[in-house]
């Protein structure tokens, strides 16, 4: 999932555009010997979340993308997934019916659907027989949904796309992919990319990191449609803030250069098997401490041959359902 962090705060931004999410599992995720049943393959594409993983810690990227180690669901991320689902489904209703009570009424049904599609989230409240913690968790989701109505008026919005899967291949062969929460298109053709965050807005000194994901999406849209989005908008439901940025072509070109350099570093690590940990305050929330040398652990045996990965020959790009 796409995350932006403020200092040592735990990421709480819901699902993002992880077209290549980590494997999730139950209590067995803490075991030192893990078999996912999925053969390891060299990385073939890059999403905003995985790019952020590598920048945060190359070893974390390896654990998630190559080893595909299981990760336990968290209350914060699962709540983000639930709130995103409600905001997406609300636009199925006619404009006049897109109200806060209707949105809150969607929560129980979307929670049922989430438990059916991702059974591992049930374990979050396995030790809550009276349902008190679950009730508080759902009440917080309600508050986040309600706050959205103080930031945007859905009765005056008609998204062109919701949960839009995008994928494009750069001239270098690097494939970029992700899922955009919402795309608005003005009658004049101007494009706005919107992303919901269930956490709090970052302090100004961390704003550039928060915008990285949005510039990534803008680059993909530009490559696919030859249109530079007019506005990038981050809606922070946790703090009631809206962060906007109006990109220019030079911004997207800089992001492309950064991603190419990042991909070169990822390919080098893939070929050599040298994935260095990068300790930060965020390590305290990592699920993989048992495998991390910084915590006295040992990574699993490297599952790939130490050689360059071969490039594929897939289609040039896509913009639509995954």
**Predicted local distance difference test score (pLDDT) of residue 26:** 35
Cβ-based neighbours of 121, under 8 Å, separated by 6 or more: 73, 78, 114, 115
3-state secondary structure 270-313: HHHCCCCCCCCHHHHHCCCHHHCHHHCCCCCCCCCCCCCCCCCC
> To which H or E segment does residue 241 belong?
strand 241-245
**Predicted local distance difference test score (pLDDT) of residue 307:** 64
Q: What is d(CA 230, CA 209) in angstroms, rounded to the nearest whole number?
A: 20
**Predicted local distance difference test score (pLDDT) of residue 14:** 35
**Predicted local distance difference test score (pLDDT) of residue 204:** 87
**Predicted local distance difference test score (pLDDT) of residue 35:** 44
Q: How many CB atoms lie within 10 A of CB 181?
A: 26
Q: What is d(CA 31, CA 35) in angstroms, rounded to the nearest whole number?
A: 10
**Predicted local distance difference test score (pLDDT) of residue 320:** 60
**Predicted local distance difference test score (pLDDT) of residue 306:** 85
**Predicted local distance difference test score (pLDDT) of residue 315:** 52
Here the tokens at position 27 are 């209590």
**Predicted local distance difference test score (pLDDT) of residue 210:** 86
- Alpha-carbon distance values, 223 to 204, 220, 322 (Å): 29, 5, 18
Of 244, 105, 263, 269, whose CA–CA distance to 172 is shortest? 263
**Predicted local distance difference test score (pLDDT) of residue 8:** 29
pLDDT in tens, the chain (322 residues): 343 332 223 333 333 333 444 444 333 333 333 444 567 889 999 999 999 999 999 999 999 999 999 999 999 999 999 999 999 999 999 999 999 999 999 999 999 999 999 999 999 999 998 999 999 999 999 999 999 999 999 999 999 999 999 999 999 899 999 999 999 999 999 999 999 999 999 998 888 888 999 999 999 999 999 999 999 999 999 999 999 999 999 999 999 999 999 999 999 999 999 999 999 999 999 999 999 999 999 999 999 998 644 554 445 555 565 5
What residue ranges in 136-211 does DSSP mark as E strands? 161-169, 175-185, 191-197
The answer to whether the beta carbons of residues 168 and 175 sit under 8 Å apart is yes
Per-residue model confidence as pLDDT tens digits over 46-80:
999 999 999 999 999 999 999 999 999 999 999 99
What secondary structure does DSSP assign to 78-102, as a single string?
HHHHHHHHHHHHHTTS-GGG--HHH
Q: What's the distance, Cα to Cα, between the start and end of the chain in Å? A: 16
**Predicted local distance difference test score (pLDDT) of residue 68:** 95
């Amino acid at each position: 999932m796409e995350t932006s962090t403020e200092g040592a705060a735990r990421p709480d931004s819901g699902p993002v555009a992880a077209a290549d999410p980590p494997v999730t599992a139950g209590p067995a995720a803490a075991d030192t010997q893990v078999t996912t049943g999925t053969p390891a393959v060299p990385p073939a594409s890059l999403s905003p979340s995985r790019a952020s993983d590598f920048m945060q810690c190359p070893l974390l990227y390896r654990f998630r993308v190559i080893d595909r180690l299981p990760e336990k669901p968290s209350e914060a991320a699962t709540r983000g997934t639930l709130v995103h689902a409600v905001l997406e489904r609300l636009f199925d209703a006619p404009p006049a019916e897109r109200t806060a009570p209707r949105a809150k009424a969607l929560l129980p049904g979307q929670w049922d659907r989430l438990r059916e599609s991702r059974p591992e989230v049930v374990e979050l409240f396995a030790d809550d027989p009276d349902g008190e913690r679950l009730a508080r968790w759902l009440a917080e989701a309600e508050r986040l949904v309600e706050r959205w109505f103080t930031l945007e008026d859905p009765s005056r919005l008609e998204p062109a796309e919701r949960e839009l899967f995008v994928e494009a291949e750069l001239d270098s062969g690097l494939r970029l992919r992700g899922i955009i929460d919402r795309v608005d298109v003005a009658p004049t053709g101007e494009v706005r990319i919107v992303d919901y965050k269930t956490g709090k807005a970052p302090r100004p000194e961390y704003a550039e990191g928060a915008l990285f994901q949005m510039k990534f999406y803008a680059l993909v849209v530009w490559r696919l449609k030859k249109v530079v989005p007019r506005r990038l908008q981050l809606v922070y439901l946790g703090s009631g803030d809206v962060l906007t940025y109006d990109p220019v072509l030079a911004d997207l070109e800089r992001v492309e250069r950064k991603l190419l350099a990042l991909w070169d570093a990822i390919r080098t690590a893939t070929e050599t098997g040298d994935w260095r940990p990068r300790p930060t305050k965020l390590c305290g929330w990592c699920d993989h401490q048992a495998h991390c040398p910084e915590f006295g652990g040992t990574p699993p045996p490297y599952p790939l041959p130490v050689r360059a990965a071969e490039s594929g020959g897939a289609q040039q790009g896509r913009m639509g359902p995954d």
